[in-house]
């Protein structure tokens, strides 16, 4: 079984480093001329799948926007995950799950198992303690899937917790990166990634991670090539996965226009693969 980390690295070499989001929030549905219901959600999502399948390294549906519509929305998400994976495109479910014991185990099986929501990777929150993620980390390893751990997020509220330092002088964010690095140590490119906001003014030390660095906040939120250069050392450029959502999606509803925007941004971040 080829690990998620290796599959992601191969996909980044083939298609470029971008992770493109599918974020069907109401203002985008309206701007595309779509109704704010399951019908509009499906039309939006189908266009994104058509535009991105086979063209980008990673696609990240934002689960919350599908949950809003109840069972109908979840069916749309299930269909999108299946279509992308059938096309050979890696899927990162942006579910940000975090809990303990049997509940975390259930979340892990929902998103990293072989059920209808099973994806190539899932985002998780470690702020009940990194050890609480063990069910997801273990199942991901067993199934050749990946996990992206929230480490240093770009929302202003995040600093209240993530920048606290412990007795050893490390910030909480750095501790999360180091715990992820321990999971990736001693092997090929790891399958435990971290999430680090591209709009931060400083980032944890990522040099030992040996895994993917998902960097949201690119484009509409103000992050870009220069901010990534300021946050990540050049030797770690090849691990960076810039996450773009609105910057691409506002080019819709034309599938062709979405693809043109993806192509332009892929060129913009080509330096990460140099």
Specify the DSSP class assigned to residue 273.
G
Phi, psi of 223 (to 5 degrees): -80, 160
Give the chain's largest Cα–Cα span. Answer: 54
Instruction: State the Cα torsion 51-9-96-158 to the nearest 10°.
Output: -110
Instruction: State the Cα torsion 123-127-132-138 to the nearest 10°.
Output: 30
Q: Is 96 a catalytic residue?
A: yes
Residue 239 buriedness (CB in 10 A; 0-12 / 13-18 / 19+): buried
- Of 175, 110, 177, 102, which Cα lies nearest the Cα of 145? 110
- Of 140, 147, 165, which Cα lies nearest the Cα of 94? 147
Catalytic: which of 42, 60, 96, 235?
A: 96
CB 139 within 8 A of CB 109: yes
Long-range contacts of 180-184 (CB under 8 A, 24+ apart): 180/149, 180/151, 180/209, 180/211, 181/208, 181/209, 181/210, 181/211, 183/137, 183/211, 184/5, 184/209, 184/210, 184/211
Radius of gyration (Cα) for the chain, nearest Å?
18
- Which residues are tagged catalytic? 96
């Amino acid at each position: 079984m080829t690990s998620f980390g290796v599959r992601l690295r191969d996909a980044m070499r083939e298609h470029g480093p971008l992770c493109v989001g599918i974020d069907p929030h109401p203002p985008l549905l309206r701007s595309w001329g779509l109704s704010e219901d399951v019908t509009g959600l499906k039309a939006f999502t189908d266009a994104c799948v058509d535009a991105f399948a086979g063209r980008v390294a990673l696609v990240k549906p934002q689960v919350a926007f599908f949950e809003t519509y109840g069972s109908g929305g979840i069916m749309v998400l299930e269909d999108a995950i299946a279509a992308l994976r059938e096309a050979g495109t890696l899927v990162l479910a942006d579910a940000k799950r975090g809990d303990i014991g049997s509940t975390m185990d259930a979340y892990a099986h929902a998103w990293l198992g072989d059920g209808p929501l099973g994806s190539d990777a899932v985002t998780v929150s470690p702020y009940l303690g990194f050890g609480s993620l063990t069910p997801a980390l273990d199942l991901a390893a067993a199934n050749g899937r990946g996990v992206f751990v929230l480490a240093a997020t770009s929302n202003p509220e995040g600093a209240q917790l993530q920048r606290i330092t412990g007795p050893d002088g490390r910030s909480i964010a750095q501790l999360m990166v180091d715990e992820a690095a321990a999971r990736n140590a001693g092997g090929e490119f790891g399958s435990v990634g971290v999430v680090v906001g591209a709009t931060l003014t400083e980032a944890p030390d990522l040099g030992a991670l040996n895994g993917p660095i998902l960097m949201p906040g690119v484009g509409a939120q103000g992050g870009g090539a220069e901010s990534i250069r300021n946050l990540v050392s050049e030797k770690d450029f090849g691990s960076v996965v810039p996450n773009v959502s609105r910057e691409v999606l506002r080019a819709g509803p034309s599938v062709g226009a979405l693809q043109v925007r993806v192509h332009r941004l892929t060129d913009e971040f080509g330096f990460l693969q140099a």
